[in-house]
Amino acid sequence: MGKINWGKVVLGGLVAGIIIDVVEGILEGIILGPEWRQAMQALGHPLRETGTNMTLHVLLGFAYGLTALWLYAAIRPRFGAGPKTALYAGLAVWVLGSLLPSVNWGPRGLLPGHLFTIAVVVGLVEIVVATEAGAWLYQE
């Protein structure tokens, strides 16, 4: 069993993070942004779109990408290199980072359900594509 190539994990994770951040910026910032702002305002908690908060969201995208690539590298010896293993890693990160939190918070009725649904579905495609792209760069 080979050792994890941490340089390639970081490289692939950064590529995955860029993909995640671009998709999230378009979806959450431009397409759904007005609805999120309105929903949060209705709760009495307007979104604080500060530079610090934006930086945090960008870093979170990179954290998802790095986590997905680390998981890919970790399960690669068991499942083999390639797209199928990247799919497994991406699905695992999506379930833990997007699906389960949304299933927990969505039904509470605090925010419109369609916002959660769109974010979860797009998040699935986004993390799988990002993990596939990052895994393509990974070699031990």
What's the pLDDT tens digit per position in 39-73? 889 989 888 889 999 999 999 999 999 999 999 99
Instruction: Report in angstroms the alpha-carbon separations of 15 from 4, 19, 48, 136.
Output: 18, 6, 28, 10
| Structure confidence at residue 110 (pLDDT) | 83
CA 32/CA 50 separation, integer angstroms:
18
Q: Which of 86-90, 115-119, 131-135 has the lowest mean pLDDT?
A: 115-119
Q: Tell whether the model's pLDDT for residue 1 goes beyond 70.
A: no
What are the residue ranges of helices labelled H in 28-112? 33-42, 51-79, 83-94, 100-105
List the domain boundaries for the chain. 6-137
- For the stretch 22-40, pLDDT in tens is 999 999 989 999 999 998 8
Region for 111 from its dihedrals, namely left if φ exceeds 0, alpha if ψ lies in -120 to 50, beta otherwise: beta
CA distance linking residue 107 with residue 104, whole number of Å: 7
What type of residue is 59?
L
Residue type, 50: T
Over pLDDT 70: what percentage of the chain?
Answer: 99
The answer to whether residues 98 and 123 touch, using CB atoms and an 8 Å cutoff, is yes
- pTM for the model stands at 0.91
In the structure, what pLDDT confidence band is assigned to residue 76 with cuts at 50, 70 and 90? Answer: very high
Q: What 8-state DSSP symbol labels residue 106?
A: G
Question: Contact at 8 Å (CB) between 72 and 121?
Answer: no
